[in-house]
Every structure is written in C-alpha cells, then in structure tokens.
Structure 1
Amino acid sequence: MNFIAMDFETASVQRHSAVSMAVVVVRDNQLVDQFYSLINPGSDVRFDSRNTAIHGIVAEDVINAPMFPDVWQQIKQFYTPEQLVIAHNAPFDNGVLRATLGHYGIGAPHYLSLDTVRTSRKLYPQLPNHKLNTVAAALGIDLEHHHNALDDTVAAAQILVTQATTFGVDPIKPLVKVI
C-alpha cells in the first residue's frame, strides 16, 4: 500500500489549536519518510490542562515553534485528490486539519481518508476497545510514547500495513472516504 498517515495533538477542545503534527509516508508497505513539528497555535489559544495531561505539551514548549501556515508549506504536497491519508480516529485529525486551515484562511485540500479505528473495528471485533494503544498492542506494534504525534502516526501506519498484508485491501477499500 501507498499512503500517508497523520496525527495532531491540540492545546484544547478548539479544533484549530494544533500544537504538534506528524506525517509519515508509506510506499509499498514501507515507511520511507517522516515529518514532525511542534506548532505555535497563536496567542489567542489557551492550553487546557486536560489536553496537556494527555500529551505533555505546554505553552512554553511551542513559543518558538512555527505557526501552522509555515508547517503547511512543508506538507501540503501530500494532500491531493488521489492521495490516501490515514489516521487513527481520522474524523478528529481531519477536523483539526480543516479547522486549522480555515482559521488561517487557507483553502482545505481534497484527499482520500481512511480511519484505522474503523478498519480495526471491522477486522478485530474481539478487541475490548479500538484505541490506538490497544490495537497496537494486539498486533505487536511498538507504541513507545502514546499521544506523541510522531509515535502515534507511525503506529497507525503500521496498523494499516499489518491489516492490508493480513486481510488484503478488499475489506479496507469500502471504508475509504473522499474529503
């Protein structure tokens, strides 16, 4: 399979409050490139202690980080109509991307999207839940720092590669959405 995987962490429940993002590129089922950045969400964004408790990123960590428009310049080439973009809980990550682009007045791209939560529910109904750490553990995938955007992105990519090589792409294809 060829695809990119993405993950965001946010400062608060505001979808445009991205504080970190990762993208990994998978070609022929191999991770061939990766990108990670902290993101300065702007002075108007307040950090929620619940979010910080999850990912550990505080306002001081992102003071000198680039703003999202600068990050977008480095990754926008991956978001094309024929590109498959996956995430574990893709509605959240797609929502963060769209809200953050909208916040900065940047047009949202169109791409193909696949949610590995949905593929995992379909292919592993016996699991007690389909959280990223649960699915990764069940598949023997190392998830060193859960809620670190890069580690989560790598794990999501490995989940989809494992699913595609175990079950083939036929049960996965119907779950692809156009964004």
Structure 2
Amino acid sequence: MTMNFVAMDFETASRQCHSAVSLGLAIVRDNHLVDEFYTLLKPDSYFDARNTRIHGIREADVEDAPTFPEIWPLIKHFYTPDQLVVAHNAPFDNGVLKATLAHYNLAAAHYLSVDTVRTSRKLYPDLPNHKLNTVAGALHIDLEHHHNALDDTVAAAQILVQQAQTFGVEPIKSFVKLI
C-alpha cells in the first residue's frame, strides 16, 4: 500500500496559537520521502520561556527570519481539499495553521488531515503513551532532535508510512477528516 501526503510540524513562541516560530514539512510520494522544507519564522508574538525550553528557539534566533505571510505563498499549494496533511498531534498543528492564517488575514486552508497520535493509539494500544518519541522509538524510527520541527515532521511521516505498510491504508482512512 502506497501513500502520498505532506507531513507538518509547528513549534510556537508562546501559548498563542498564532505564534509559529518554526515549520517543518516532509513530502512523501509512493511511501518515500522526496522533499523536505524547514524554516524559522519571526512571529508577531512574545516568547514564553516554557516554549523556548521545549524547542530551544530564542527570539534572537528568528530576528532575521521570514514572517509567516512571506512563507505562505511558497507552501499553500500543499493545503488543498484533495491533499492529505499528516501531523503527530494534528489538532495542535492544524490549530496553529488556522490561527496563524487568521491572525495575518490570510484565507483559511482546507485540506485532509490525519493525526498519527490517533492512528497510533488505535494501531499500537499497548504502548505506554503515544508521544512522538515513544511511537518513533517503538517503530525504530530515528528521531534525532525531538521538538525540532523538521525532525518531528519526518518522524511523523515515517510513522504513517510504517502504519500503512503494516496495517494497510483502510484503517488509516477512518481517521481522515477535512479541515
């Protein structure tokens, strides 16, 4: 069973959903990672020390980074109603995208979404938890820097590919929803 999709991961500067500070994308075609995209983002928000402790990105790191509206024209073609977008804890990442688009008065994106936390809970019920690093470890997926948007994105993509190869696409289809 082969799958084509885009995986995404955001890190945020604060609890404000529109405070995207980094974005990672992984493009998968026929179950193979064919391209990656990573960028720091200069948010229109304050930095919270708790978030910085999690991902290590400081305000000085993004001083010269592009803003989300500068990046959006380069990536918005991945967010169409016929495109599958995958994330581990997709409600968070979908929420960041939605809030960031709204914050900058950009049109809402509509796309198909799958959450690998949800698929992992269903397909691997015996794991102690379904955090990205736990699922990746159980599947022998290298997650070098947890909470690096690109590393997390690639791991989520590999999780979904392994799930499709092991269980088929049908169990995963039941988790797809239109955003």
Query: What is the TM-score of this pair, normalised by structure 1?
Result: 0.98
Determine whether 1:14 maps to 2:16. Answer: yes
Tell me how large the CA RMSD over aligned residues is.
0.5
Determine whether 1:32 maps to 2:34. Answer: yes
In the alignment, the residues of structure 2 paired with residue 151 and residue 68 of structure 1 have an alpha-carbon distance, to the nearest angstrom, of 20
In the alignment, the residues of structure 1 paired with residue 64 and residue 129 of structure 2 have an alpha-carbon distance, to the nearest angstrom, of 38
In the alignment, the residues of structure 2 paired with residue 170 and residue 85 of structure 1 have an alpha-carbon distance, to the nearest angstrom, of 17
Residue 23 of structure 1 and its aligned partner are, at CA, apart by: 0.8
> Which ranges of structure 1 fall in alignment gaps of 5 or more residues?
none
Residue 153 of structure 1 and its aligned partner are, at CA, apart by: 0.1
In the alignment, the residues of structure 1 paired with residue 29 and residue 84 of structure 2 have an alpha-carbon distance, to the nearest angstrom, of 11
Equivalence for 2:83: 83
Residue 92 of structure 1 and its aligned partner are, at CA, apart by: 0.2
Amino acid at match of 2:134: T
Determine whether 1:57 maps to 2:57. Answer: yes
Structure 2 counterpart SS, 1:172: helix
In the alignment, the residues of structure 1 paired with residue 126 and residue 175 of structure 2 have an alpha-carbon distance, to the nearest angstrom, of 19
Amino acid at match of 1:30: H
Query: What is the TM-score of this pair, normalised by structure 2?
Result: 0.98
State the number of aligned residues.
Answer: 177
Equivalence for 2:134: 134
Equivalence for 1:163: 163
Residue 74 of structure 1 and its aligned partner are, at CA, apart by: 1.1
- Runs (4+) off by over 3 Å: none
In the alignment, the residues of structure 1 paired with residue 60 and residue 124 of structure 2 have an alpha-carbon distance, to the nearest angstrom, of 40
In the alignment, the residues of structure 2 paired with residue 147 and residue 76 of structure 1 have an alpha-carbon distance, to the nearest angstrom, of 23
* Identity fraction in percent: 73
Equivalence for 2:99: 99
